[in-house]
């Protein structure tokens, strides 16, 4: 069988340019076509990676041959005998987990944005030779990737291999002077590689992640001798001043984290920042099963030339979002109060967006490509997050199954793993609904019609009460109050129905709100509220002392024109949630709560 041979060199770190070569033998006699993906699995937006291919040329047996573009993402080399090499210069300066980045501090890439696929040869094995940048200053660079070595030493430059193109592009590569830590979970070595300036307590991070990973391995594998579905795993983290992101891969994840979210030496508490990082790492690790191996049938195989449509992202992202935090409490990393705070915040996030009554999580999954990933000023009115509402639907499903006494969402996941994950068969549309109905029987009723394919709010208030948890709602203050715990600041008496940015521009105007009825629009810039110069603080204070039904004047610029709006304030909606353990739950509720949160 033929092998496709790639070669990657960070050619010019200061110009942010990689040179990537792709060589094949016995090319198509009609002229070999090469295609670049338009999207990367896990991030459902057409990104047109070919935009960053700044120069492409071709050679056959060392002699230049012509190569021409046939489509935005396709090149065809002139007919040639022997071998053909395509040599591309790729601009890489995107500080995200989705494409590629190169400067003097690090080189990073995801396969879909740099590796051309020779058409018709995607199933053939590949090798990749990784070369360090030339020049001084790079001697301390190493390689972090879960590509299999084909000669390269541990963390070394040299040759790696993949059994086909799909595998090749699912192992991002970090080349830099990163810090390294490791731990074992499920008898498998896990590594943490952190690039960027940071002073984190890596042992602490390794210790906490080990507990979370082991819990997830046991969930799917059945303790005590369960193993994960990979031989090694890598958490590749880029520490930055401000940023957030993660992308899952089959045996690694790339994360972007604020350096102040990494744990500090000598501190044992888990602050909000570190909790955020642990939740993100837990989320991406859970994807090793749920979406990387248990996959929607629509992704079997991925068609990276166009959108892949499924109504099931609410399950792949929503269930993962539910289990990311649940794994933290079930593994003992956080306590009950902390977990309930996180759940209360997720409920708050969903309650604040009227789009939850417009779009179902099934429809949000299907239209992720044009809506969830392309949000604008109207998104809160028209779009629901299949992540956050999906996590609440997953929680409600778990509690509904547990209350029936017949099963839990853990069982649903284990069945999905056995039927579709281990076997590598795609999950057909509707299969999850069927598994849940099979397990829950009458207790499930019209759950899917209402909460997944319909737009009803997940019935968490009622369910949580039966698990010994009280659900309290109050009116929240603009932006500052994320919910999750009792607030010390006074609740507003009235509501304007906008989100205001630091620059006093309206980011969103909510459907049916007083602001919308008065004619205010997104991007209007507040000048004065009730005759006084506008500030976020003064607006919040006004709403805490002014009652619903009162009228105020708002002056604002629309484009460059000053306008005046006569606003009649409405009652502040109860959109901010916190959850508390009932002090004296019934015996049954206490038992259910214990089993749910502590297994
Ligand atoms: Zn995810």
State the angle between helix axes of 202-221 and 272-286 in degrees (0 to 180), rounded to the nearest 10.
Answer: 40
Q: Is the pLDDT at 225 greater than 90, yes or no?
A: no
CA–centroid distance, residue 86 to ligand 1 (Å): 34
Per-residue confidence band for 260, with pLDDT thresholds at 50, 70 and 90 = very high
CA–centroid distance, residue 351 to ligand 1 (Å): 21
Q: Please give the average per-residue pLDDT across 533-538, as a whole number.
A: 94
Q: Please give the average per-residue pLDDT across 211-221, as a whole number.
A: 96
Chain-centroid distance of CA 449 in Å reads 26
Long-range contacts of 66-72 (CB under 8 A, 24+ apart): 70/33, 72/38, 72/48
More confident residue, 599 or 568: 568
| pLDDT score, position 267 | 84
CA–centroid distance, residue 245 to ligand 1 (Å): 10
Q: Please give the average per-residue pLDDT across 443-457, as a whole number.
A: 97
CA–centroid distance, residue 523 to ligand 1 (Å): 31
Q: How far apart are CA 414 and CA 195, in angstroms?
A: 35
Which uninterrupted H or E stretch holds 221? helix 202-221
| pLDDT score, position 525 | 98
CA–centroid distance, residue 439 to ligand 1 (Å): 25
Q: Is the pLDDT at 83 greater than 70, yes or no?
A: yes
Q: Please give the average per-residue pLDDT across 27-56, as a whole number.
A: 98
Contact present, 176 and 141 (Cβ < 8 Å) = yes
Per-residue confidence band for 481, with pLDDT thresholds at 50, 70 and 90 = confident
CA–centroid distance, residue 448 to ligand 1 (Å): 21
Q: Please give the average per-residue pLDDT across 282-293, as a whole number.
A: 98
Q: Please give the average per-residue pLDDT across 211-218, as a whole number.
A: 97
User: Is the omega angle on the peptide bond into residue 301 within 30 degrees of 0, that is, cis?
Assistant: yes
Half-sphere exposure of 278 (CA within 13 A, CB side): 31
486-519: pLDDT as tens digits: 887 888 999 999 999 999 999 999 999 999 999 9
| pLDDT score, position 461 | 98
* Percent with pLDDT over 90 in the chain: 95
Which of these ranges, 176-185, 229-238, 476-485, has the smallest mean pLDDT? 476-485
CA–centroid distance, residue 320 to ligand 1 (Å): 6
Closest CA to 296 of 433, 430, 454, 452: 430
| pLDDT score, position 110 | 98
CA–centroid distance, residue 248 to ligand 1 (Å): 7
Closest CA to 41 of 229, 303, 286: 303
| pLDDT score, position 345 | 97
CA–centroid distance, residue 524 to ligand 1 (Å): 34
Per-residue confidence band for 485, with pLDDT thresholds at 50, 70 and 90 = confident
Q: Is the pLDDT at 479 greater than 70, yes or no?
A: no
Q: How far apart are CA 428 and CA 126, in angstroms?
A: 30
Q: Is the pLDDT at 143 greater than 70, yes or no?
A: yes
| pLDDT score, position 490 | 84
Q: Please give the average per-residue pLDDT across 261-265, as a whole number.
A: 95
Q: Please give the average per-residue pLDDT across 420-430, as a whole number.
A: 96
Closest CA to 44 of 283, 354, 364: 364
Q: How far apart are CA 200 and CA 184, in angstroms?
A: 20
CA–centroid distance, residue 532 to ligand 1 (Å): 44
CA–centroid distance, residue 73 to ligand 1 (Å): 27
CA–centroid distance, residue 287 to ligand 1 (Å): 7
Q: Is the pLDDT at 480 greater than 80, yes or no?
A: no
| pLDDT score, position 361 | 98
Q: Is the pLDDT at 550 greater than 90, yes or no?
A: yes
| pLDDT score, position 293 | 97
More confident residue, 222 or 392: 392
Q: Is the pLDDT at 523 greater than 90, yes or no?
A: yes
Q: Please give the average per-residue pLDDT across 224-246, as a whole number.
A: 94
Q: Is the pLDDT at 224 greater than 70, yes or no?
A: no
| pLDDT score, position 590 | 97
Q: Is the pLDDT at 469 greater than 90, yes or no?
A: yes
Per-residue confidence band for 23, with pLDDT thresholds at 50, 70 and 90 = very high
Q: Is the pLDDT at 305 greater than 70, yes or no?
A: yes
| pLDDT score, position 226 | 85
Per-residue confidence band for 279, with pLDDT thresholds at 50, 70 and 90 = very high
Closest CA to 529 of 567, 491, 570: 567
């Amino acid at each position: 069988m033929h092998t496709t041979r790639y070669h990657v060199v960070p050619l010019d770190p200061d110009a942010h340019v990689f040179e990537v070569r792709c060589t094949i033998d016995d090319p198509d006699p009609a002229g070999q076509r090469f295609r670049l993906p338009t999207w990367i699995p896990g991030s459902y937006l057409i990104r047109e990676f070919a935009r960053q291919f700044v120069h492409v040329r071709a050679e056959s047996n060392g002699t230049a041959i012509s190569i021409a573009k046939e489509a935005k993402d396709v090149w065809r080399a002139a007919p040639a005998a022997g071998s053909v090499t395509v040599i591309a210069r790729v601009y890489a300066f995107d500080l995200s987990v989705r494409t590629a980045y190169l400067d003097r501090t690090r080189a990073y890439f995801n396969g879909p944005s740099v590796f051309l696929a020779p058409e018709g040869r995607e199933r053939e094995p590949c090798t990749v030779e990784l070369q360090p940048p030339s020049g001084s200053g790079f001697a301390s660079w190493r390689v972090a990737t879960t590509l299999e070595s084909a000669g390269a030493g541990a963390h070394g430059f040299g040759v790696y291999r993949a059994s086909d193109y799909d595998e090749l592009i699912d192992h991002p590569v970090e080349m830099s002077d990163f810090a390294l830590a490791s731990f074992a979970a499920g008898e498998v070595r896990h590594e943490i590689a952190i690039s960027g300036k940071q002073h984190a307590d890596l042992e602490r991070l390794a210790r906490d992640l080990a507990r979370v990973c082991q819990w997830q391995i046991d969930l799917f594998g059945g303790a005590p001798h369960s193993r994960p579905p990979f031989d090694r795993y890598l958490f590749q983290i880029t520490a930055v001043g401000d940023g957030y992101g993660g992308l899952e891969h089959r045996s690694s994840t790339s994360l972007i984290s604020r350096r102040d979210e990494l744990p500090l030496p000598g501190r044992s508490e888990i602050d909000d920042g570190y909790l955020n990082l642990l939740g993100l790492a837990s989320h991406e690790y859970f994807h090793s099963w749920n979406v990387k191996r248990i996959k929607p049938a629509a992704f079997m195989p991925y068609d990276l030339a166009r959108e892949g449509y499924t109504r099931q992202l609410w399950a792949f992202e929503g269930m993962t979002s539910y289990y990311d935090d649940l794994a933290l409490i079930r593994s003992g990393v956080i306590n009950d109060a902390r977990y309930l705070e996180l759940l209360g915040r997720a409920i708050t996030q969903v309650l604040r967006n009227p789009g939850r009554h417009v779009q179902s999580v099934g429809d949000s999954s299907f239209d992720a490509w044009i809506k969830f990933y392309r949000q604008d000023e109207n998104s809160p009115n028209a779009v629901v997050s299949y992540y956050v509402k999906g996590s609440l639907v997953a929680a409600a499903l778990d509690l509904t199954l547990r209350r029936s006494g017949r099963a839990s969402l853990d069982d649903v996941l284990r069945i999905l793993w056995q039927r579709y994950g281990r076997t590598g068969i795609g999950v057909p549309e509707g299969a999850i609904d069927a598994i849940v109905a099979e397990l829950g029987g009458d207790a499930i009723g019209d759950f899917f019609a209402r909460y997944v394919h319909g737009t009803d709010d997940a019935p968490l208030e009622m369910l949580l009460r039966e698990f010994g948890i009280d659900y309290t709602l109050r009116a929240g203050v603009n932006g500052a109050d994320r919910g999750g715990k009792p607030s010390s600041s006074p609740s507003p008496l009235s509501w304007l129905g906008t989100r205001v940015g630091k620059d006093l521009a309206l980011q969103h105007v909510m459907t049916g709100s007083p602001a919308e009825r008065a004619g205010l629009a997104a991007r209007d810039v507040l000048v004065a509220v009730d005759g006084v110069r506008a500030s976020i603080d003064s607006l919040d204070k006004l709403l805490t002392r002014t009652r619903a039904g009162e009228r105020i004047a708002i002056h604002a610029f629309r484009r460059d024109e000053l306008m005046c709006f006569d606003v009649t304030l409405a009652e502040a909606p109860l959109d901010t949630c916190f959850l508390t353990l009932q002090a004296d739950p019934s015996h049954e509720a206490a038992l259910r709560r214990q089993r749910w949160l502590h297994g």
